[in-house]
Amino acid sequence: MKTVAKEEVSRRNFLRAAAGLALFSTSGCERVEDFLGMEPKEGPVVPPTGEGIDLISHLLNRATFGPTPSEYARVKGLGESQEEALEAFLDEQLSPDEIKDKRAQRAVRRFEAIHAPLGEMYEYKEEHLLEQLTRATLVRATRSERQLFEVMVHFWSDHFNIDISKKECRWLKAADDREVIRNHALGKFSDLLRASALSPAMLWYLDGRENRKRDASEKPNENYARELLELHTLGVNGGYTQKDVMEVARCLSGWSVRGKGKFFKGKVEFHAESHDDGSKVVLGREIAAGGGEEDLDEVLEILCEHPATARYLAEKLCVRFIADEPATESIEEVAEVFKKSGGEITKVLRAVFGTKEFLKGARGQKLKRPFEFLVSALRGAKAEVKSEMVLVDYLIRMGHAPFQYPTPDGYPDVASPWTGTLLWRWHFAIALARNEIGKDIKVDEGALLEEAGGMEGLAASLLGRTPNENELASIEKTGEALALLLASPRFQWR
Amino acid sequence: MEMKATGIISGNGDDQRTLVVVFLRGGADGLTLVPPVGDQGYYDVRPTLSVAENEILKLGDANCGLNPALKSLHSLFGDGGLSVIPAVGLQDETRSHFYAQDLMEHGGPVAGGWLGRFLRYRDGRAPSALSAIALGKSMPEVLRGAPAATVMESMDTFSLGKSGESTAQIQEELGALYSLDQSILGPAARDTLQALGRVEKLRSENRPPENGAIYRDDSFSNGLRQAARLIRARVGLEAVSLDLEGWDSHLAQETLITPLMSRLSDGLAAFHRDLGSLMKSVTVVVMTEFGRRVAENSSFGTDHGRGGAMLVMGGRERGEVEGKMPKLETGLLVGPGDVPVMTDYREVLKPILRQHGALSSMENIFPQTS
């Protein structure tokens, strides 16, 4: 019943917005939206009441970029018990296509460069592509209802890291983001891996395009082959040898991508004459001579089915969602599901959230990385963001700007490398709460307080638990609840 | 489960080393900065744009010297505080400003800047919030990928908000809350607050430079002056990047770059004097994307070439001419008549980065790529 009513409302609103859009330019699109009151009515704010972080807050901390004020009550209401609510939330989030997400989709539509067909991306200035891609990433993380999907996009962007500043990645990373990462973020790992292996940006980033073997004297370029084994599949202790790296490089030789100066720029193609077509042995399995471009599929199949891949991916996901040093049992449990499901990412995630360690283990002990801190603050404070560029400045100061990590291993996902970022976290928290970040970002602390039923409610809403006496005393002394809460130790953790 | 408070040292680094990278944008003419000594070939191809042999500031018995406009740096060479590297540059043959700067700042055809990677992969210390600053308007490529890097316009950049009682109050309360924190953020917060306190002190005192150093009033010298204050205040500063622009001397080279050389030289000399004995732990590297064509063009300028010059000041420099100035004979020049690159700029940087804490392999900082 409820869903039907909601749909009708949004359809009607959509028509109204469409009419509005015809009158206004696209750049004013967001204001039109606000003017027409497009938002589906938000539920009431009922903050957590426990002294510790309960399962709902824990789940929202880990499976999303942090709760908005009303999200806690909404998710809690999805089930009779918190465990039931968790299941229902995962059901919802693991079918992202069924979640209405017009608001975020509309907000990213104005970034036209990132929606362009591959070859046309070269027509944009490289700095515009980076700007639009970064802004879209912030918009989606902050505003999308498909939170777990966006969290996984964030995860895979690190796993298959591409620094946009290398050569033609400047133009091609946006396509990689769209067609590789977002397209397969909750799909099958093998599809994601294959898409990445044949991604024009990846072929540039890890020099796959230079991997040629045209005659006996030429040596294949091993860069991608090595990272494919070390970082994308088996992991550094995954049991492969230097010989395996060389054999994989031979298998992948001949795949290249057309450069900027050519027709069909960005097009990936296989050059049989540059492929080493002899027989190879990869991780003990023989690949017969004459396989040509099919060598790639054979290699990827061997890697996806290898138990080390299941274990390595399981470990990384446990580090992301459970703890910096997850228990071996959790990793093994998740790895088992990875193997059994053939790398079905939604099933693997269910396994992660179903581990005893996730359900009963430590809460609030994963340090938010700067991007996560920033987005969780914007969500928690219901900030109205007109332009994201000032946020990017903060991310650069904290060394966590999307698509700008220089080496293929992606931004670290544990606490210790990020402890030097407190100054800018505090700076951001204070500026945000005081509306001093710039004219493009606004919060309304008065409204937040009212909605949450006062200062303690706001604190509980942001911290995921009721404030302790020290926090209350500090808020009292400063008289700036929002600034202090966002800058406080508790809010740095998820 | 309690987080261990390991992997963190005082971000205020009382024993901190600081690397200052000065980029001369536009391709500074190496043969003007560091002219050859005793090479008739130089005078044959540069009838108007050469430095007369008797005006060149000699560097011991080396076959190159310093331009007289760099005279404030000359005595540093004698004292062992300055090294000079002629005919240095990229292996790549590009003569495009953009591409050459990009390559040089990235440390090869790779992603991210070498200085950014250095900060991320040097020995395991956690970086402080003030570990890297770019003096100027924007973040240079060389710092891309750094774990923390800030474009600093003034000292006010480093504060928690508009100064006043309310910000001070928040700062105090954060100190109280974090001091109770048992996680690794506890010590990190203490370091951060200490660094903030030191910057605050700098801001309020506005002391003159030390040791009688006098800075010129231009943006380059002002930048160096700010950097010296931060280094002296020990706020955890490990890397500084600043640019001196305008070296693209296709036309009327002498009038264009002589004043730039004075700005460079006077700025660096004042910085050196200001920091005094602290220069032991500070290294300044001066670099440019490429040198210029050996032969001058018809408009008393020079065009894009290859081998240029680098200067290294402070740190553990011994005051040497590193590498070789080649003879400027037709057969030895490269491409359309350019100074060959006798020294790869990365070979100059590597020992310096090691002194500043880089791990010995350097694989992460200057990856081997195709």
The kind and range of the H/E element at A6 are helix A2-23
Q: Give residues with Cβ within 8 angstroms of A446, minimum separation 6.
A: none
Give pLDDT, residue A416.
87
B184: nearest CB among A404, A415, A483 = A415
| Nearest in space to A201 (alpha carbons), one of A178, A221, A229 | A178
B195/A423 touch (CB, cutoff 8 Å), yes or no:
yes
| Residue A422 contacts B where some CB pair is shorter than 8 Å | yes
For the cut 80, the answer to whether the pLDDT of residue B352 exceeds it is yes
Rounded distance between C-alpha atoms, residue B33 and residue B31, angstroms: 6
Rounded distance between C-alpha atoms, residue B244 and residue A486, angstroms: 40
| Residue A37 contacts B where some CB pair is shorter than 8 Å | no
Tell me which chain B residue has its CA closest to the CA of residue A402.
Answer: B145
pLDDT tens digits, residue range A94-113? 999 999 999 999 999 999 99
Q: What's the pLDDT band for B249 if we cut at 50, 70, 90?
A: very high
Residues A429-436, mean pLDDT to the nearest whole number: 97
Q: Does domain B18-156+215-355 have CATH number 1.10.20?
A: no
For the cut 70, the answer to whether the pLDDT of residue B11 exceeds it is no
Tell me which chain A residue has its CA closest to the CA of residue B182.
Answer: A489
Strands A384-385 and A441-442: antiparallel
What is the b/e burial string over A270-279, where b = at least 16 CB atoms within 10 angstroms of the residue's CB?
Answer: beeebbbbee
Tell me which chain A residue has its CA closest to the CA of residue B165.
Answer: A478
DSSP helix/strand/coil, A300: helix
Rounded distance between C-alpha atoms, residue A131 and residue A114, angstroms: 10
Q: Are A37 and A18 in contact (CB under 8 A)?
A: no
B interface mutation test: which of A423, A488, A493 has the most B CBs within 10 A?
A: A423
For the cut 60, the answer to whether the pLDDT of residue A36 exceeds it is no
For the cut 60, the answer to whether the pLDDT of residue B79 exceeds it is yes
Q: Are B293 and B337 in contact (CB under 8 A)?
A: yes
| Nearest in space to A86 (alpha carbons), one of A96, A94, A95, A76 | A76
Amino acid symbol at A99: I
Every domain of chain B and the residues it spans: 18-156+215-355
Three-class HEC string of B65-134: EECHHHHHHHHHHHCCCEEEEEEEECCCCCCCHHHHHHHHHHCCCCCCCHHHHHHHHCCCCCCCCCCEEE
Tell me which chain B residue has its CA closest to the CA of residue A469.
Answer: B177
Interface of A with B in 295-354 (CB under 8 A): 323-324
CB contacts < 8 Å between A and B, how many? Answer: 154
Check residues A2 and A229 and name the one with the higher pLDDT.
A229
Residues B137-150, mean pLDDT to the nearest whole number: 88
Residues B337-350, mean pLDDT to the nearest whole number: 96
Chain B residues lying within 8 Å of A488, measured CB to CB = 174, 177
DSSP helix/strand/coil, A164: coil
Give pLDDT, residue B145.
87
Amino acid symbol at A239: G
Chain B residues lying within 8 Å of A218, measured CB to CB = none
Tell me which chain A residue has its CA closest to the CA of residue B108.
Answer: A166
Q: Are A118 and A168 in contact (CB under 8 A)?
A: no
| Residue B36 contacts A where some CB pair is shorter than 8 Å | no
Give pLDDT, residue B13.
47
For the cut 70, the answer to whether the pLDDT of residue A403 exceeds it is yes
What percentage of chain A reaches a pLDDT higher than 90? 88
Give pLDDT, residue A29.
43
- Distance from A408 to chain B by nearest Cα, in Å? 9
Q: Are B152 and B113 in contact (CB under 8 A)?
A: no
Rounded distance between C-alpha atoms, residue A73 and residue A45, angstroms: 6
| Residue B183 contacts A where some CB pair is shorter than 8 Å | yes
B166/A480 touch (CB, cutoff 8 Å), yes or no:
yes
Give pLDDT, residue B129.
79
Give pLDDT, residue B369.
53
Q: What's the pLDDT band for B15 if we cut at 50, 70, 90?
A: low
A478/B166 touch (CB, cutoff 8 Å), yes or no:
yes
pLDDT tens digits, residue range B119-136? 988 877 777 878 999 998
Give pLDDT, residue A223.
92
Give pLDDT, residue A40.
57
A426: nearest CB among B147, B150, B174 = B174
Q: Are B326 and B340 in contact (CB under 8 A)?
A: yes
Q: What's the pLDDT band for B63 if we cut at 50, 70, 90?
A: very high
Q: Are B109 and B99 in contact (CB under 8 A)?
A: no
For the cut 60, the answer to whether the pLDDT of residue A34 exceeds it is no
Q: What's the pLDDT band for A26 if we cut at 50, 70, 90?
A: very low
Residues A210-215, mean pLDDT to the nearest whole number: 93
Edge-to-edge strand list for the sheet holding B308-314? B150-152, B132-135, B239-245, B18-25, B282-288, B308-314, B82-89, B343-344
For the cut 90, the answer to whether the pLDDT of residue B266 exceeds it is yes
Residues A146-175, mean pLDDT to the nearest whole number: 96
Tell me which chain A residue has its CA closest to the CA of residue B197.
Answer: A423
For the cut 70, the answer to whether the pLDDT of residue B110 exceeds it is yes
For the cut 70, the answer to whether the pLDDT of residue A17 exceeds it is no
Structure tokens at B272: 């050196």
Give pLDDT, residue B111.
82
DSSP helix/strand/coil, A318: helix
* Average confidence score pLDDT of chain A: 92
Chain B residues lying within 8 Å of A427, measured CB to CB = 159-161
B112/A404 touch (CB, cutoff 8 Å), yes or no:
yes
Q: What's the pLDDT band for B32 if we cut at 50, 70, 90?
A: very high
Q: What's the pLDDT band for A6 if we cut at 50, 70, 90?
A: very low
Q: What's the pLDDT band for A31 if we cut at 50, 70, 90?
A: very low
Q: Are B184 and B4 in contact (CB under 8 A)?
A: yes
Check residues B3 and A84 and name the one with the higher pLDDT.
A84
| Residue A255 contacts B where some CB pair is shorter than 8 Å | no
For the cut 70, the answer to whether the pLDDT of residue A461 exceeds it is yes
Could you tell me the CA-to-CA distances from A128 to A174, A182, B84 in Å, in that order?
A: 11, 20, 40
Give pLDDT, residue B282.
96
Rounded distance between C-alpha atoms, residue B100 and residue B89, angstroms: 10
A407/B195 touch (CB, cutoff 8 Å), yes or no:
no
Interface of A with B in 377-416 (CB under 8 A): 393, 396-399, 404-407, 415-416
CA A102, distance to chain mean position in Å, is 19
A484/B148 touch (CB, cutoff 8 Å), yes or no:
no
Residues A84-95, mean pLDDT to the nearest whole number: 98
Give pLDDT, residue B329.
87
Tell me which chain B residue has its CA closest to the CA of residue A489.
Answer: B178
For the cut 80, the answer to whether the pLDDT of residue B4 exceeds it is no
Rounded distance between C-alpha atoms, residue A38 and residue A130, angstroms: 29
Selection from A115-124, A485-494, B94-103 with the highest mean pLDDT: A485-494
What percentage of chain B reaches a pLDDT higher than 70? 95
Burial class of residue B138, CB neighbours in 10 A (0-12, 13-18, 19+):
exposed
Give pLDDT, residue B114.
96
| Residue A187 contacts B where some CB pair is shorter than 8 Å | no
Interface of B with A in 150-169 (CB under 8 A): 150-151, 158-162, 166-167, 169
Q: Are A94 and A139 in contact (CB under 8 A)?
A: no
| Residue B107 contacts A where some CB pair is shorter than 8 Å | no
Residues A45-51, mean pLDDT to the nearest whole number: 97
Chain B residues lying within 8 Å of A426, measured CB to CB = 160, 170, 174, 192
Three-class HEC string of A361-398: CCCCCCECCHHHHHHHHHHHCCCEECCCHHHHHHHHHC
Q: Are B107 and B114 in contact (CB under 8 A)?
A: yes
Q: What's the pLDDT band for A173 if we cut at 50, 70, 90?
A: very high
Give pLDDT, residue B162.
85
CA B192, distance to chain mean position in Å, is 25
Tell me which chain B residue has its CA closest to the CA of residue A221.
Answer: B370
Interface of B with A in 122-141 (CB under 8 A): 126-131, 139, 141
Could you tell me the CA-to-CA distances from A91 to A95, A158, B46 in Å, in that order?
A: 7, 25, 77
